[in-house]
Structure 1
Amino acid sequence: VSGRDEVGLRAQAGRLREHLIGRPEAEPVDVGYSLVTARAALEHRAAVVGASREELLAGLQLLAEGAVGGSQVVRRGRTAFVFTGQGAQRVGMGGELYAAFPVFAGAFDAVCAGLDPLLPRALGGVIAGGEGLDETGFTQPALFAVEVALFRLLESWGVRPDVVAGHSIGEVAAAHVAGVLSLEDACVLVAARAGLMQGLPAGGAMVAVEAGEEEVRALLPGGGLVGLAAVNGPGAVVVSGAEAAVEEVVRVLRSRGRRTRRLSVSHAFHSPLMDPMLEEFGRVAEGLDYRPPRIAVVSAVTGELADEQTLASAGYWVRHVREPVRFADAVRALENDGVTTLLELGPDAVLTAMADAAVRNTDAVVAVPALRARQPESRTLLNALGRLFTRGIAVDWQAFYDGTGARRIDLPTYAFRRDRYWL
């Protein structure tokens, strides 16, 4: 629903609701299709998502009464897709989308077809059943598969980013959809990365601390036992390495009143404990074919827009395993590039809060999660799609409704505002 201003939009929502109450035979799918294909999309927009006619009518009433957030004014800016990293995985992730959307299912199956010969067991069964999903050897391929399928589904609806970025393994998904790596080569890189990490001796620790990068760096001991794994925000850093060395850093921070949280991981990623795998991983990366990106990529290794030579270097992907994830810098680079909407592609809203904390102008830049843990996947994704549309991002609604049997029906004309002036 849209209007020239907030008052007009509310009036339009109320008018539509009254029209539909008097026409119980109107199918919701036909109403939605007619609204987005036969009506101008004006500057003030809102979207109502529901699983039944009653729920949709209730949503229109709340919108008409101003009892919900109301409309969003279209923002002219660039769009970024950011891909979630390890830790967001959950049993059954993507299953609801797989059942609901053939495009998602086809893309997911294509990724699994590329990964399964490289893994000890079929990836789909691991995700559905959960056994082994938290093992790095499966976690990273599973996230890659779900995130690529999410991208392909949104792409089929005409939603395309101007720039992409990712957190750790998420950056491999970003590089693939940007065209840097074919699906075959991306699967090889992901499987090798995950398998070699899994094969390292278990141990080490990763702890998220509420402190700035400079404060934490000053506490890091020499000897190559501990380092920074991630800089996720101005006061959000992850320390990673040998357990005793990490605990000593954490002890000092706690004594200063800093909050800390130990991460549940099998290995100390992005730390010196990764060094034994780097040479072999480099040989795998050397054997891949890198292509110029079709979509701009912001690197979370450098925190800057990556050029073609950087992304086409096997050495870059080795650094990507070992060096800190500079996600906060990547978000600021996106903001500096004119991005006003960040859509997080992953099974949970992990990067959304980090991005909100990292951006300088929270009024101009909004982060939206495509999925959230413990919430219905289709509803969450459609809410995200509606929110993107209200911010002015193009959606191919014809493609969205393709195959649903939706048809155009008569709907009320625009609720024009009229003021009468008496002599």
Structure 2
Amino acid sequence: MAVIDLTHGAALLLRWAGTDPVAERTARARVAGALRTGAQPPPPAPGPLRGAVVTTAARALDDLAAAPVRQVPANGPRPVVLLLPGQGAQYNGMATGLYRDEPVFRAAVDAALAEWGAEGEAIRADWLGTGAGPGIPIDDAPRAQPLLFAVDHGLGRLLLSWGITPDEALGHSAGEVVAATLAGVFTVPDAVALVRGRVHASARIPPGGMLAVAAAVDELRPYLTGQVAVAAVNAGRRTVLAGPSAELAAVAARLARDGMALRPVPATSPFHSPAMQPAVRAAESAFRARPRPPRFPVRSGYTRQLLTPAEAASARFWARQLADTVHFGPALTSLLDGGDRLLIECGPGRDLSALAFQQHAVRAGKSAVLSMLPGGRSDRAAVLEVAAALWREGHDLVPDGPMACR
């Protein structure tokens, strides 16, 4: 196990626990004593009174002293659910700091991109800023989809490496393939082949786009003309439209004139609209995966139900997702109806976290949501905050994790 380096400003995680207040204070004092001598803090013994803090060497003792503790509920911690984002979550430089700092994440990303061959090498160089060329625009599907799969999968593998077994996984759009892969339904090679088939099929579709509108589906029906359709139902008044460029621009102009709040979604293809039907047929013929039983349940954002063995093995099921409407909001509602959950967004940004906050169970504090890469701080600090929250919640982390810190 690596010794914590107290000589630089990198984020580090400190955690401790006790069976009662006296034991908790004693455990906290042991951590403080190790910090004063530069030694590795002792491994925390599980207990119902738990504390954790993400800090730096310069602030460690002060932050440790001020950190609150949490009582683990008698009935145990809330089960963990993974949320995997899809197209639109990507941004330049996402997770590059984590790629540099975290071997588990880096290995998972490298394994996924390696399946793309020379194309994957170019995507990685472009992503890390080490390529010589001008790069591929990040919102284009040939760039966004492989990289989002690699980053989402890498974050999920990192979380699983901490000893966390999810109760369920739910992906948004392309994130559903990642959810199935993390659950063991697909191997990484099979998943990448599936993504590749969908990306190459989509590349033949004329340019289009996607538009997020702050309105309910019924309010938007009068605006749906031609091949413009409802692409995603994310919450009560969070709907995404998609369609060919000219048709979508005309709809956007009408919506704006009528005072609707809208914004473009980072995409250059009309995903989840009838314009994608030719790509569905091509992607279906390219499907070669051999699905296996999941290690934990996967909820489909298209059917709102748990993924069935027949669906997992169906080329049509995975191909038609290019044109089908995503029902992420209703799927998440169905998931939360099953009990309180700790939702963790395993992907860049906070798009799915923001949608989760639209759910009554989250607003009421019964369920909670965490983001692994919310932005605004270092990648390392962000993922360690998730680890800290999991520990305080009552989930036991493996001794060497996360990120070889106590």
Structure 2 residue corresponding to 1:24, chosen from 18, 32, 36:
36
1:340-379 aligned within 5 A: 340-362=341-363, 363-379=365-381
Structure 2 portions without partners, runs of 5+: 1-15
**1:57 aligns to 2:61 (yes or no):** yes
User: What is residue 41 of structure 1 aligned with on the other side?
Assistant: 47
- Kindly state the Cα deviation for residue 226 of structure 1 after the two structures are TM-superposed: 0.8
- 3-state DSSP of counterpart to 2:156: helix
CA-to-aligned-CA distance 1:346-394 (integer Å, 9 cap, x gap): 1222211111113445311111111123421111001001111212223
CA RMSD of aligned residues (A): 2.8
| Distance across 2 between alignment mates of 1:232 and 1:371 | 20
User: What is residue 67 of structure 1 aligned with on the other side?
Assistant: none
**1:197 aligns to 2:198 (yes or no):** no
- Kindly state the Cα deviation for residue 290 of structure 1 after the two structures are TM-superposed: 2.1
CA contact (8 A) 1:206 1:241 kept: yes
CA contact (8 A) 2:96 2:128 kept: yes
Q: Structure 1 403/323 Cα, relative in aligned 2: closer, same or farther at 3 Å?
A: closer
| Distance across 1 between alignment mates of 2:198 and 2:71 | 42
> What amino acid sits opposite 1:366 in the alignment?
A
| Distance across 2 between alignment mates of 1:197 and 1:116 | 20
**1:291 aligns to 2:330 (yes or no):** no
| Distance across 2 between alignment mates of 1:236 and 1:403 | 40
- Kindly state the Cα deviation for residue 82 of structure 1 after the two structures are TM-superposed: 1.0
Q: Structure 1 394/120 Cα, relative in aligned 2: closer, same or farther at 3 Å?
A: closer
CA-to-aligned-CA distance 1:81-127 (integer Å, 9 cap, x gap): 1111112223333332222222222222211211225x375331122
| Distance across 1 between alignment mates of 2:147 and 2:192 | 11
- 351-360 or 254-263: bigger deviation: 254-263
1:131-150 aligned within 5 A: 131-132=135-136, 133-150=138-155
- Kindly state the Cα deviation for residue 200 of structure 1 after the two structures are TM-superposed: 2.1
| Distance across 2 between alignment mates of 1:401 and 1:345 | 15
Q: Structure 1 22/290 Cα, relative in aligned 2: closer, same or farther at 3 Å?
A: closer
Pair member with larger Rg: 1
- Kindly state the Cα deviation for residue 22 of structure 1 after the two structures are TM-superposed: 10
- 3-state DSSP of counterpart to 1:126: helix
- Kindly state the Cα deviation for residue 246 of structure 1 after the two structures are TM-superposed: 3.3
Q: Structure 1 291/359 Cα, relative in aligned 2: closer, same or farther at 3 Å?
A: farther
CA contact (8 A) 1:228 1:238 kept: yes
Q: How many residues align?
A: 383
| Distance across 1 between alignment mates of 2:229 and 2:324 | 9
User: What is residue 126 of structure 2 aligned with on the other side?
Assistant: 126
- Kindly state the Cα deviation for residue 208 of structure 1 after the two structures are TM-superposed: 0.7
Aligned sequence identity (%): 31
- 3-state DSSP of counterpart to 1:60: helix
- Kindly state the Cα deviation for residue 279 of structure 1 after the two structures are TM-superposed: 1.2
Normalising by structure 1, report the TM-score: 0.82
CA contact (8 A) 1:135 1:198 kept: no
CA contact (8 A) 2:84 2:152 kept: yes
CA contact (8 A) 2:228 2:243 kept: yes
| Distance across 2 between alignment mates of 1:112 and 1:19 | 40
| Distance across 2 between alignment mates of 1:127 and 1:389 | 32
Q: Structure 1 58/394 Cα, relative in aligned 2: closer, same or farther at 3 Å?
A: same
- Kindly state the Cα deviation for residue 216 of structure 1 after the two structures are TM-superposed: 1.9
Normalising by structure 2, report the TM-score: 0.85
- 3-state DSSP of counterpart to 1:383: helix
Q: Structure 1 260/401 Cα, relative in aligned 2: closer, same or farther at 3 Å?
A: closer
> What amino acid sits opposite 1:90 in the alignment?
Y
> What amino acid sits opposite 1:41 in the alignment?
G
User: What is residue 320 of structure 2 aligned with on the other side?
Assistant: 319
1:145-224 aligned within 5 A: 145-202=150-207, 204-221=208-225, 223=226
**1:279 aligns to 2:284 (yes or no):** no
CA contact (8 A) 2:87 2:266 kept: no
CA-to-aligned-CA distance 1:256-304 (integer Å, 9 cap, x gap): 543111223212211122122121111012x322222222110011112
> What amino acid sits opposite 2:239 in the alignment?
V
1:385-396 aligned within 5 A: 385-396=387-398
User: What is residue 92 of structure 1 aligned with on the other side?
Assistant: 93
CA contact (8 A) 1:274 1:322 kept: yes
| Distance across 1 between alignment mates of 2:210 and 2:403 | 46
- 3-state DSSP of counterpart to 1:48: strand
> What amino acid sits opposite 2:164 in the alignment?
V
| Distance across 2 between alignment mates of 1:280 and 1:227 | 21
CA-to-aligned-CA distance 1:12-38 (integer Å, 9 cap, x gap): 5699469837972143xx22x43x1xx
> What amino acid sits opposite 1:71 in the alignment?
R
- Kindly state the Cα deviation for residue 186 of structure 1 after the two structures are TM-superposed: 0.7
Q: Runs in 1 of length 4+ with deviation above 6 angstroms?
A: 401-404
- 184-193 or 88-97: bigger deviation: 88-97
> What amino acid sits opposite 1:208 in the alignment?
A
- 3-state DSSP of counterpart to 2:115: helix
| Distance across 2 between alignment mates of 1:349 and 1:178 | 22
- 3-state DSSP of counterpart to 1:49: strand
User: What is residue 238 of structure 2 aligned with on the other side?
Assistant: 236
> What amino acid sits opposite 1:205 in the alignment?
G
